[in-house]
Chains A and B, each alone.
Chain A
Amino acid sequence: MKRITYNSPDKYKAVSDAILKETGTISVLFAGVGGQGILLATGIMARACLFEGFDVKVSEVHGMAQRGGSVVGSIRFGEKVFSPTIDFADFIIALEESEPLRYVDNLKKDSVLIYNTYRIYPTTVYGGSCNYPGNIREMLLKFTSDVFPVDAYKIARQQGKSKAMNVVLLGFFSNFLPISTDSWENAIKDIVSPTILEINLNAFKAGRNLINNF
């Protein structure tokens, strides 16, 4: 069943309301490359969920995977969460363009997929043994119709910090979630260091406003 109906005023938030009603738990998978700030993104979102009164669990992997490899983290929230890990994701948020392709096994027919169009070429592509895939959007559309490419790099640059791509994507994603702007902002204030707080708050807002482009 397709959840986005594009006619209600709260059409994007309606997606997560429907999932919560149906399964009680929302599962989000964050994908990216070591160094892109997945831990920060999941950390902010987990606090926002907590401030909103949800039970929440986060899962992350440290160690060997951090050395420039693919990195994945997950968040689940709802009234009561059991497993911290995800088999099938309601949302996949990818911080790099090709990374969502790696997690097609975690997709369902009605998963919502948000991905950054920013590319980081792996050494296997630089080394010439592999090609970077083309037609990423077309490939993703084979699995779900709710695919949202976002140019988070451009927005983050406009805010003065290209590293803030993770927060731009969080801002865009926030349109889909039953979490108030206050909770998001408090979570960002809680985690981000004061020196870069304003840039991150602005990056979040700019990301949130991107929804008007769709």
Chain B
Amino acid sequence: MEKDVVILTGNEAIALGAHEAGVGFASAYPGTPSTEILENIARSGNIYCQWSTNEKVALEVASGASLAGRRAIVAMKHVGLNVASDPFMTLAYTGVNGGLVIISADDPGMHSSQNEQDNRYYAKMAKVPLLEPSDSQECKDFIVKAFEISEEYDTPVLLRTTTRISHSGSVVKKSKARNQETARTYSKDSMKYVMIPAFARNRHKILLEKFEKLKEFSDKTDINKIVNLKDKKSFCKIGIISSGACFQYASEAFKDYPILKLGMTNPLPFGLIEDFVSDKSLIIVVEELEPFLEEQIRASFLNCKVIGKSFLPGYGELNVEILKSLNKFIASENILEFIHEHTLKDLENKIKKFKEKNSYISGNKEKNDIKDSVKKTIPPRPPVLCAGCTHRPVFHILKKLKVMVMGDIGCYTLSVLPPLDSLDSCLCMGAGVGQALGIEKANDNYKNKVVSVIGDSTFFHSGITSLIDNVFNRGTGLVIILDNRVTAMTGHQTNPGIGSTLMGEDTHMILPEEIVKAVGVKNIRIVDPYDVDLLERTIKEELNRKELSVIICRQECALINQKQILREFYIDESVCKKCGMCIRIGCPAIGYENDKYFINQAICTSCGVCSQICPWDSIKANEENNL
């Protein structure tokens, strides 16, 4: 076996691609499924890289690096591009100096996201070239290609992956790396980079001209190609068009039809598509989520009969089985003959009837009594706040106080699940702090009855501006900053409050309380959430105050706080009244079996929260200094 052949996930391959493309700068804000891109770039050690405060800043910093002549890469999850969309849209006007590539890691099926928006539309809206790799090898190769396009056409390039690309491993062949030292020189060019209206009008025209040239490029590039041709002369009346992960599903399900595989999906290669569809009676467009390709193909080739979202679901992930059923439909219903004599509308009605008979196509599994009865016996195993999680006592108290809890994105979002049942809202990063103000302003009944919670990293990401809005507009609510000293959810990345950078350098530790004080909040309390009584008293006091207050709950995430365990908790059965209060804080280390409550020593972190919550003082500690 060759030494330079390895198995890499899409994210690892993108990092390798950055190395091979001679990238000199990388920035990101962590977000599943994109996080490992920067972590792997950092591991290689020879590219400057940084976690930024949020995605907008990450893109702005990278565009600065590009301006200075370096090849720069920025990674984010799909909703991160919403945050970065402001610089993104205008970067299409200014163009770049050193190549600039933006990775958008979309999450169809929402494995770890609040929506499943299809970011290919961003490329179309901004008129920015879009590449969609379909496996790890292409992740690496397309990064190199993306930088060539970026510099040749003076434009940022969007590379879009999906979870199944980012987190799937496949075989990659390494190549030689390009020299990083070939940075371009910067020369002042205000008409290109200063987007005042007079200059921007001209840049918009230039953008349109660039886009026409990119259309020609899309037609001739080898990353758009026809595959699966058994032999060149063979002629098939049915053709498939697909991109990204869906290309793999299509290749497996449609073995007999040629596939137009699109590596570049904005602008589309309309010439190539025209050649492909001209001799076909039926075109099947295979794509997840939105009909991004389908709508453009339909609009450009009006005579072309297309099956796409009329058969495939517009939500969630695709899979081979759904496509096999489409294949079966085409074969069994003699569709090729049917469309000769009928309209596309007739075909769509036929599809509708077929789908009604086969409900599994719409994502509903076929009914199977034996399987259903077995599935009923399985206890759910939802993700939970870890044993010793520092957020648990906060949500236990908020539930007890029966207040509205406006949250956002982080581990603490899990507090919405039983038994904590805490959150009233989770919209986007930082949203809770603003929402709480709106609630208070709209309805006096909620005054002193609404709390917003936000993590430390999220506070830096997008909580500061909404906190200022609270101060500015005379809010009287309570904001709780859950400061567990790390960006926990995505796997423990550093943030501005930690005091160290992605590259491991020491840096100034920005404490949230300094910011809170600086923007004019008068009531600031800092509490260790493991001190449950103090925490409860503090929350009650600040909730009843007629002024805005901020409580900072500071305790290191239980997963990194591996301090030596000096005490071991147990439940004293002679005292336990079996009220079940300890179970209702939802700690995975507390169990109930054979009419007995117990503590699982293997995972207990000795945080001591349960011992303070037990109304009978039956949870006791063995002080064992010799442990």
Contacts and interface: CB of A to CB of B under 8 A. Distances in A.
Interface of A: 33-34, 42-43, 46-47, 50-51, 53, 55-70, 81-85, 87-88, 98, 101-102, 104-105, 121-133, 139, 142-143
B170 A126 contact: no
Contact of B169 (A46, A82, A88): A46
A87 B319 contact: yes
Interface stretch (B293-301, B585-593, B617-625): B585-593
A68 B383 contact: yes
Q: Nearest 7 CB-CB pairs, A to B?
A: A63-B112, A63-B32, A58-B169, A130-B379, A69-B383, A67-B383, A84-B168
A68 B386 CA distance: 7
A2 to B, nearest CB: 19
Contact of A133 (B319, B379, B583): B379
Interface string B381-412: 11111100000000000000000000000010
Contacts of B377: 101, 133, 139
A73 B48 CA distance: 33
B1 A61 contact: no
A139 B269 CA distance: 53
Contacts of A55: 171
A34 B387 CA distance: 13
A60 B167 contact: yes
B380 A124 contact: yes
Given A69-B382, A122-B380, A127 B374 contact: no
Contact of B170 (A56, A69, A127): A56
B320 A128 contact: no
A85 B319 contact: yes
Contacts of B169: 42-43, 46, 56-60, 84
Contacts of B380: 122, 124, 130
A59 B33 contact: no
B371 interface: yes
B588 A123 contact: yes
Contact of B378 (A88, A101, A129): A101
25 contacts: A58-B168, A59-B164, A59-B167, A59-B169, A62-B36, A64-B32, A64-B112, A67-B383, A67-B386, A67-B414, A69-B383, A81-B170, A82-B248, A82-B320, A83-B252, A83-B320, A85-B164, A87-B320, A101-B378, A124-B381, A126-B590, A128-B580, A132-B379, A133-B378, A139-B377
A131 B377 CA distance: 8
Interface of B: 1, 5, 7, 9, 32-33, 35-36, 111-112, 135, 163-164, 167-171, 245, 248-249, 251-252, 317, 319-321, 365, 370-371, 374-375, 377-386, 411, 414, 418-419, 489-491, 580, 583-584, 586, 588, 590-593
Most buried by B among A33, A67, A143: A67
Given A47-B7, A122-B381, A125-B379, 15 more contacts: A50-B5, A56-B7, A56-B170, A56-B171, A58-B169, A63-B489, A64-B32, A64-B414, A85-B320, A87-B319, A101-B375, A123-B588, A127-B584, A133-B377, A142-B370
Contacts of A128: 580, 583, 592
A66 B383 contact: yes
B32 A131 contact: no
Contacts of B583: 126-128
Contact of B7 (A50, A61, A69, A101): A50
B586 A84 contact: no
B381 A104 contact: no
B586 A127 contact: yes
A44 B317 CA distance: 27
Given A33-B381, A62-B33, A139 B374 contact: yes
Most buried by A among B171, B378, B588, B592: B378
A126 B587 CA distance: 10
Most buried by B among A51, A85, A132, A139: A85
A101 B111 contact: no
B529 to A, nearest CB: 18
A146 to B, nearest CB: 17
Contacts of B135: 57, 84
A59 B381 contact: no
B168 A59 contact: yes
B111 A68 contact: no
A20 B591 CA distance: 45
Nearest to A127: B583
A214 B382 CA distance: 34
Contacts of B317: 85
A88 to B, nearest CB: 8
A133 to B, nearest CB: 4
Contacts of B491: 62
Contact of A58 (B170, B319, B379): B170
Nearest to B378: A101
B383 A83 contact: no
Most buried by B among A51, A57, A121, A123: A123
Contacts of A101: 374-375, 377-378
A69 B370 CA distance: 25
Nearest to B385: A67
Contacts of B386: 67-68
Contacts of A105: 365, 371
B170 A61 contact: no
A28 B378 CA distance: 21
Nearest to B109: A61
B592 A126 contact: yes
B95 to A, nearest CB: 35
B137 to A, nearest CB: 11
Contacts of A46: 7, 169
A43 B385 CA distance: 27
A24 B411 CA distance: 42
A111 to B, nearest CB: 13
Contacts of B593: 121, 126
B133 to A, nearest CB: 13
Given A105-B365, A105-B371, A50 B1 contact: yes
Contact of B1 (A53, A57, A130): A53
Given A87-B321, A121-B591, A133-B378, A51 B1 contact: yes
Nearest to B35: A62
Contacts of B5: 50
A42 B167 CA distance: 13
Given A60-B167, A64-B112, A98-B378, A126 B249 contact: no
Contact of A82 (B249, B418, B489): B249
A38 B416 CA distance: 27
A64 B384 CA distance: 9
Contacts of A125: 379
Nearest to B413: A64
Contact of B383 (A53, A65, A98): A65
B382 to A, nearest CB: 6
A59 to B, nearest CB: 5
B167 A61 contact: yes
A63 B33 contact: yes
Contacts of B170: 56-58, 81, 84
A40 B418 CA distance: 31
Contacts of A129: 418
A43 B377 CA distance: 31
Contacts of A132: 379
A129 B374 CA distance: 17
A183 to B, nearest CB: 10
B32 to A, nearest CB: 4
Contacts of A34: 383
B112 to A, nearest CB: 3
